[in-house]
Structure 1
Amino acid sequence: MERNIVRYGELRPCKTAFIDAHTPGSDQKENFTIIGGGVSESPDQHVHIADKIGFNIGAAGQPPKCRNSLHSHRTAEVFFVLKGRWRFFWGRWGDAGEVTLEEGDIINIPTGIFRGFENIGTDYGMIMAVLGGDDAGGGVLWAPQVIEDARDHGLVLAETGRLYDTKKGEALPEGVKPMPTLTEAELAAYPEPTTAEVVPNYVARYWDLMALADHQPAKVIGADAILRDRPGFEVEFLTRGSVDGSHTNEAPEVLMPMRGHWRLSWDGGESVLNPGDTCNVPVGLTHSLTPAMSGEASLYRVRRTEDAPGATMPLS
């Protein structure tokens, strides 16, 4: 089981994961690939658990005032705030709408819109991510200005999806072209939803989930959940009053504690999961999950479903 648990204190960051790694304002961010291949464009990215389970788990760590540049996904992208205070914004230029998320809040960002995020807190912040499908890296598109700014600071993204750093003397291989930017016609097809259109349908607040999960796990993302969607996985929120008894999971399942310490027990062993830890529960394992200590306890549980290929429902 230990190979299936990634401890928060053992996470290995990559500081060159994306095209904006040299761009001022985005050059201090850290990317983490915890389960699956992730979305990194750099060969330096460390993958903690390479298992393909139908969705990816990752994280982003950023100091105050650091932002992730505008990009779009063809597959689902879900974040919950583990540490800090974060602003999520979207639109062609990032000014169509925005929302501020506090610790424990979760956002299921619609596919097919440009989005970015920044740490607006006073300390280093961390957001945990769930990405749809096994090939989440194949669905990232950057806003044209991001590609242009990166080129000005020495980073070129190839059409193959790999980054080349001209400051290190790297160059595109012969026969490989730069990643083309989207045309104005293609950009015109991207929606510009307002804050009022996105927040009620794609954001759930931590303290609302705490109240809803008092007696049973709160269904956060899923066909019959608070955020009704079918991205190829479902998300539940557990608290002290909503834990399950011993059960066997028939599909891939990931446990991500938000608050408190959780005791995971199985036939032949047990382990305590802490905030920021990630546990990939093997299919077929009979296990139970209970808070290990008194006080506030909360946890996000992600399970694969078979009802969609991994794309979040776009705005209509």
Structure 2
Amino acid sequence: MTRITQTEAEARRVKRSDYTSCTVAFIDCKKPGSHLKQNYSIIGPGVTSSSEQVINLPEAHGFNIGAAAMPTGITNNLHIHFTAEVFMVYDGEYTFRWGSNGEHEMVGRPGDILSVPTWIFRGFTNTGAGEGWIFTTLGGDNTGGVIFHPDILREAADYGLYLSRNNVLIDTTRGDPTPGEGETLPPMSDAEVAKLRHYSPEEMRERLVSTAERDFRPAFVDRALDGCGAEIAPVIGHGISQNRDHAAKIRNPHGFSMEWLRVAPGQTVSPFTLDDKMVVIPRTDGLRARLNPEGDVTLDLGGWETFSIPAEITRAFENTSDSPVEALIIVSGDHQKRPRFAPQVLAAAAEKDLALDAQGYVAAAHLIPSYGLVAE
């Protein structure tokens, strides 16, 4: 049985005070109107081009988690990603742009999640009142970097900035040698830009899960037990929900699943294990994680913190506050996740006529033949 110590668990918890911004992460860092961007690499390096970027948890997860913040009116300029890029708006208002020249727009507000397709230009501007905050999830351990819009690359040279073929930022104003011919990434040609896939506003709207669209339903086999009944709203892919009626709006492979977990005051998610790494990002204070079968390791997670739980570790959650707590649950892999609840939980659920069928979904126990029951 895999266990974790209090010290090991604390090392996998990244508090808000631990987040460290980098203002020179990308080649547009000196462009007026973009110079006040703050980039954060929380799990994995993301797509930063800066050697100065602090990475809180460099361990490979199969995905990267970062964040961005910037004052009102500041823009993150058009660029292309090779793996999935998902924006999770936690604070403020951001206007997202996409298209060869950023010709399409969509506004994101707190609780909204937008998945932008690969190989199209995208960028965003803080159009809210404060600095705002966006978490990002990128597919894969190696994201491959980014391709900036040709106009951005050409303008950056005016400020002494270049991007090497290894995605490393070259800043001649701080003493880096001016790169020679063939040592930098060349701008895409107009013909290459014209070949990029076009996504209409209607198509992109299908890749936005707004706060109002979230489909919260009881998620687990413990739903009828006293103090249980936590809910999940799927966002991307096959997550940990055991509710057969759940279906994520965004279904193409990302390399990870994403769901909202909602726990009512005093409510608990019973102990379970998972074969995959799982990351929890609460929106507010009040979510307590209990680890190991005995629950002897506890963490009271604060809002906007990032907590990574290794595979095979027993975990349970409870809401210690007076208000519902919501948290993003991100799990590696595109496959259906199979939470394994403790035997005593399954036995108690069976007394309420609930069990898991062969597909891992909750069903009436009396309808399932004994050979069809799943002991997980």
**TM-score between both structures, scaled by the size of structure 2:** 0.77
CA drift of 1:163 comes to 0.8
Q: Distance in 2 between matches of 1:45 and 1:178?
A: 21
The answer to whether structure 1 residue 2 and structure 2 residue 10 are counterparts is yes
Number of the residue aligned with 2:253: 230
Q: Distance in 2 between matches of 1:207 and 1:6?
A: 29
User: Which residue identity is paired with 1:221?
Assistant: I
CA drift of 1:226 comes to 1.8
> Unaligned 5+ residue runs, structure 1?
308-316
User: Which residue identity is paired with 1:234?
Assistant: S
The 5-angstrom pairing of residues 130-145 of structure 1 reads: 130-136=137-143, 138-145=144-151
The answer to whether structure 1 residue 297 and structure 2 residue 325 are counterparts is yes
Q: Distance in 2 between matches of 1:83 and 1:29?
A: 15
Q: Please give the secondary structure, in 1, of the residue aligned with 2:26.
A: coil
CA drift of 1:245 comes to 1.6
Number of the residue aligned with 1:250: 275
2:88/2:113 contact within 8 Å kept = yes
The answer to whether structure 1 residue 91 and structure 2 residue 99 are counterparts is yes
Percent identical among aligned pairs is: 32
2:127 to 106, 120, 129: 120
CA drift of 1:175 comes to 7.7
The 5-angstrom pairing of residues 97-246 of structure 1 reads: 97-136=104-143, 138-172=144-178, 177-199=183-205, 201-209=206-214, 212-213=216-217, 216-222=231-237, 224-241=247-264, 244-246=269-271
> Unaligned 5+ residue runs, structure 2?
1-8, 219-229, 239-246, 336-376
Please list the CA deviations of residues 3-50 of structure 1 after superposition, one character each: whole Å capped at 9, or x if unmatched: 100001221111100000000111000110001121100000001001
CA drift of 1:260 comes to 3.8
CA drift of 1:208 comes to 2.7
CA drift of 1:173 comes to 5.6
RMSD over equivalenced CA pairs, Å: 1.7
Higher relative contact order (CA 8 A, sep 6+): 1
Q: Distance in 2 between matches of 1:166 and 1:243?
A: 55
2:254/2:334 contact within 8 Å kept = no
Could you say if the C-alpha distance between residues 258 and 217 of structure 1 is closer, same or farther in structure 2, counting changes exceeding 3 Å? same
1:68 to 76, 101, 126: 76
Number of the residue aligned with 2:22: 14
Number of the residue aligned with 1:314: none
User: Which residue identity is paired with 2:216?
Assistant: L
* Higher CA-based Rg: 2
2:18/2:56 contact within 8 Å kept = no
Q: May I ask how many residue pairs the two structures share in their alignment?
A: 303
Once the two structures are overlaid, the 10-residue window that deviates more, 124-133 or 168-177, is: 168-177
CA drift of 1:216 comes to 3.0
